[in-house]
Structure formats: C-alpha cells, structure tokens
Chain A
Amino acid sequence: MGTLVEEIFSRKAGRLVQAGEIVVMDLDYMMSHDNTTPLAIKAFREIGKPIMDKNKIVIHFDHAYPAPNLLAAEAQKRIVDFMKEQGIMQFYHQGICHQVLIEEGYIQPGRVLIGGDSHSNTYGAFGAFGTGFGSTEIGVAWATGKTWFRTPETILMHLEGQAKPGVFAKDVMLYIAGMLGMDGATYKSVEFTGPYIKDLPMHERIIFANMSTEIGAKCGLIAPDETTIRFLETETKARGPFEMIEAVNPVYERVIEIDVTDFGPQVACHPDVDHVQALEQVQGLPIDEVFIGTCTNGRYEDLEIAAQILKGKRVSPFTRTIVTPASVQIYDKAMRNGLIQIFHDAGCTIGVVGCGACIGRHGGLLGPGERAFTTMNRNFIGRMGSPEAEIYLGSPAAAAATAIAGKITDPRTYLEV
C-alpha cells in the first residue's frame, strides 16, 4: 500500500511503512568509490566492529582512475590494502560506479542500496531505492548492514506527449530542474510516470532518476515494467525472477503534469543546474571544450547519437572534444560498431572510461576563461577546474552539434528532422 517508495520500504521492513516514519532498514548493497571510500574506512575503523556481510560491499575506482597524481595513488593503495585485509572481492574499475552496478546485475526492482555518491539515485530507474550518502554512513553500514531512513513524501511527475526529434530525456529533465529549482524536491521521493516515461528506453529513463539528485530528491523512482525486465535480462548480468513493484492507492504530496510535445532542446547555463533556458536563447555562444560522457549521458545510445551527428565531419579546430564511454562494456560496443572510429576521424579525444572530466580531477580540466558544453549533470563553479571557467549542460546531440560548430548549436541543424 502506498507510493513506490512506501511499497519498497514496506516490503523490505515486512510491515506497512508510511511517509514520515523513521525506519532502520537492512541494505542489499552499499557502494563507494575511490573518492569516498577512504573516509568510510576511517569511520569503520573507529567503530571497531567487524564487517557485517562483505558480500554487500561493492567498491569502485572511477573518479580519478588510473590515479592522476601521487595523493590519489596513495589513497587508492590504502583502499586496495583494506579490501585485501577484509576479503572484499566486489571491486570494479572498468567504468562509472552507477553504470557498472547496473551492468553487473546489482540493480533490480525492490532492492535498497546506498552509495557514497550523490548520483546513487540512478538505480531508481529500475524501481530500486538508491540514494546518496556520505562516507561515514557507508562505514556504518559495513559494520551494521543497516541504515536509517526517514520515509519520504512523494511528488508525482506525470509526463505525457511525445518529444520531437532532436529532443531527449536530458532536455526534459533540464526543463524540470529549471522549473522546480535545486531544492524543489529536497528530502522527497519523485516518481516519474505517464505515457512519455512508459515509451522511453532504459538509457533515457535513467536520466530522470540520475538527475533527481539535482532537484534535491532523496530518490527518483520509475515503476518497473516490461522494458525494465527486458533490459535487465539482455543488457545486464541480472537474472530473474524479478520483483514487480507499483504504487498501490498512493497519496502524493504534489502532482505535477508536464506535456513534452512542444519542447525544444534545453540548456542549463552557467553557473547553476536550474538556470535553464531554451537552447536557442544561448545559441552561438563560443565553446572551448565539449565533453560527452558521465553517469548521466555516457551510455551507448548517447555515443551513437553523437556519432550520427559527427560522422564525416570535423570538430571545430579550437573546440577540444572529449568522448568518455561510461564503461568498458559501452566502449567495446562503440568500438565494434565503428563509433570510436567516427569520433577519431572527427578529431575527438577518447577519454579513459570513468567519471573523466566531470569532477575536474583529470581528463579535460578547464582553464580560466574557458567555456565548456557538456552532457554532465552539474555545472557548479570550479567543478571542471578553474573557478573562472563556465559550464553549460545539454544533451549528447546538442554537444556533438556544438563541437562541430565551435559554438552552442541546435542539434536539429545536423539531424534530418
């Protein structure tokens, strides 16, 4: 009974859980990465208790891997030593944590996961409860297998209509961020539903769960359906039977209805994710770096649409263009299908799989006065390097079009629409 999050929590707790209730809950998995694991180890050591169940622990190296400097190398060595000491074997370093967790089959409907990364909301696209935590709580969860949650109230986001060619889930989500603002859903669960969502493939649904973080949400959920199950069975190592979860007589705090039919491409402008404008408003702004990748838009289909636009063309000579597949699995497929060749021929640089330039630690930092157009989820000041640089966010298609022109460009210029 209840909203999707109440359903997930109730099944897990074995009793009816309602919004507002504080629950201490068993976790299916706790994830952390090279940036957040060191502090988790520190907290875990201070607690002084053994690991509750090492099979629930998953550790990824993706933020700055392979280590770009000595400090990162030292931190990563300490993590490896810890994993050896504790016998933690679920260790991955061939892609962005959120993508690899999906590919490896950890994400399934009804599961409850916490991640030492704010974009752990991503798992909600599969009807799993995922949310971001700080490191200390990851260390706590290693020792207890549990954590506390305040069961959130839910905002229902009902999306209908069909997006026009050249308009993607990223554009719709940026529009929502602009409408609700960066704290528009703080502490809330956001359920994305309606005919538009129902028709979307998984890589597009993931955008909404992933970027629910940008509006402050505790989780962004989409009820699992045939599309979810087919994806899990064919694209991941997960094998059913899968739990099907849906909202049952839910009470929503707020219902928002949006028709995407008339949407055009959107851009989040420097320096805030909710500073969103129609792309045509910022068209022509010169761009020094284009970055296509991340846990939001580094998937195969994102690279495919970018390649479709870049095929047979060259990127603007002074616009360095970096394409970073989110995982090795995606990289392999892109290679097999000729996408990497298209990017190379167009003058792009392929980054090392992982978070890449998104966090300003390696693989494409911005210098003072530079402006980037990226497929990331955030554009905070200083995120990609210099605090005097500017970051604009949009879809992979818009990023590819912008790379060719060297200035912000409507992707429909290059798509046959």
Chain B
Amino acid sequence: MGKAWKFDDNLNTDEIIPARYNITIVTQELAKNVFCEIKPDYARTVKAGDVIVGGQNFGCGSSREHAPIAIKGSGVMCIIARSYARIFFRNAINIGLPILECPEAVADITEGDDIEVNLSTGEIFNRTNGHRYQARPLPDFVLKIAEAGGIVNFLKKHDIQELIS
C-alpha cells in the first residue's frame, strides 16, 4: 500500500522524462529526474509502494523506454490509468512495470489517498475512503509476459512463439 500520485490525461513521455535526461540508461539516474517539470517534488518524496494514478492515453508520445524505466525506478508499485498509449503499454509490460486499467478508480481516487493493490487479482482498495475497484484483466499473452517479470525474462525460458500457444 502507498500514496496515490495523480496525473492528467495525455501525460506524455517528455513530461515523464524530458529528452535531455535520456542520455543515460542507468535506472537510478533516470528515476532522479522523473516528472521533474510537472511534479518537481515527486522524485524526492515518492516512497516504495506508492501508486501512480493517471488519466486517459497515459504515456503518449515518444517510444523512449526511459519513461517507464524512470517510473519503475522511482519505486512505485504500479500505475492505474483510464487507458495507455500504445508504445508505453508495451514498454511497461516488457520491462515488468505493472499497469492496470481502471477508469472507476481513476475517477474516485484523489491525490494522497492511501491505496492498496492486489496485482494478481486486479483488486484496488482505497483505504482513505473505503471504496473498492476492480481493474480490467490483462489479455492472456500479456499476462504471460507480466508474470515472467518482463519479456527478457520470458525469453530466457521460452520461445517467443509460446506467447500465443
């Protein structure tokens, strides 16, 4: 469980991490600058287990994987959003950053709420107001990648064809 950090619709990859910080691939360096322009205190005060609550089209823009890596590196447990931009969705799954789609939770949660998430069932509990929400289930092949902890780990044990068999 952790604190909710709320973000607007169409949060883009430049807002997650501006291009000038993307020269490094060191996770902790990226995490230091995550959301630096739109939530300057985030990187300093975020705690392990906190939750990001986004809106619609979360992570739109560039294909830069630095964006989900920076978020994952900041220690959050997962992202809950109304919907995700296409490349961000793939990138997050591939690097093992849990993402949930739950419009009801997004509409009801306010910044700072205390949130508990069961990643395997998709149940979300708002300890601040006592409300419960159910995230949409991920497609089977996406679950296979997520359960392996990302595509790289999946491929260490499986052939890529096994995603759909």
Give me the interface of A with B, judged by CB distance under 8 Å: 22-24, 35-36, 38-39, 42-43, 46-49, 64, 69, 71-72, 75, 115-118, 120, 132-137, 139-140, 143-144, 146-148, 150, 182-183, 186-187, 216-218, 272, 359-361, 378, 380-383, 385, 387
Contact = CB atoms under 8 A, between A and B. Distances in A.
Interface stretch (B62-70, B100-108, B109-117): B62-70
20 contacts: A22-B164, A36-B63, A39-B69, A46-B152, A49-B155, A75-B23, A118-B61, A134-B64, A136-B150, A137-B90, A137-B91, A139-B152, A183-B56, A183-B60, A186-B57, A360-B19, A361-B19, A380-B14, A382-B14, A385-B20
Interface in B43-101: 56-57, 60-66, 68-69, 83, 85-87, 90-91, 94-95
Contacts of A35: 19, 22, 64
A105 to B, nearest CB: 24
Contact of B15 (A139, A146, A381): A381
B20 to A, nearest CB: 6
B33 to A, nearest CB: 11
A187 B160 CA distance: 22
Contacts of B61: 118, 378, 380
A136 B160 contact: no
A136 B94 contact: yes
Contacts of A135: 63, 65
Contacts of A23: 164
Interface of B: 10, 12-15, 18-20, 22-25, 37-38, 56-57, 60-66, 68-69, 83, 85-87, 90-91, 94-95, 139, 141, 150-152, 155-156, 159-161, 163-164
Nearest to A34: B23
A10 to B, nearest CB: 16
Nearest to A69: B23
A117 B63 contact: yes
Contacts of A382: 14-15, 18, 37
A330 to B, nearest CB: 24
Given A47-B152, A382-B15, A134 B91 contact: yes
B110 to A, nearest CB: 23
A134 B164 contact: no
B152 A118 contact: no
B19 A359 contact: yes
B86 A186 contact: yes
Contact of A137 (B10, B57, B151, B156): B151
For the complex of A and B, list the 10 residue pairs with the smallest distance between their C-beta atoms, beginning with the closest. Answer: A183-B57, A134-B91, A134-B65, A380-B14, A71-B23, A132-B63, A118-B63, A387-B37, A136-B94, A382-B18
A56 to B, nearest CB: 15
A216 B14 contact: no
Most buried by B among A49, A183, A359: A183
A132 B60 contact: no
B83 A183 contact: yes
B15 A216 contact: no
B84 to A, nearest CB: 8
B64 to A, nearest CB: 7
Given A143-B155, A182-B10, A382-B15, A36 B25 contact: no
A133 B10 contact: no
A115 B63 CA distance: 9
Nearest to A46: B152
A38 B25 contact: yes
Given A118-B63, A136-B94, A71 B24 contact: yes
A134 B94 contact: yes
A106 B132 CA distance: 51
Contact of B160 (A38, A39, A148): A148
Nearest to B10: A182
A323 B85 CA distance: 31
A211 to B, nearest CB: 13
A96 B38 CA distance: 30
Contact of B156 (A47, A75, A116, A148): A47
A48 B161 CA distance: 18
A136 B25 contact: no
A24 B57 contact: no
A182 B60 contact: yes
Contact of A148 (B12, B23, B24, B141): B141
Contact of B83 (A49, A140, A147, A186): A186
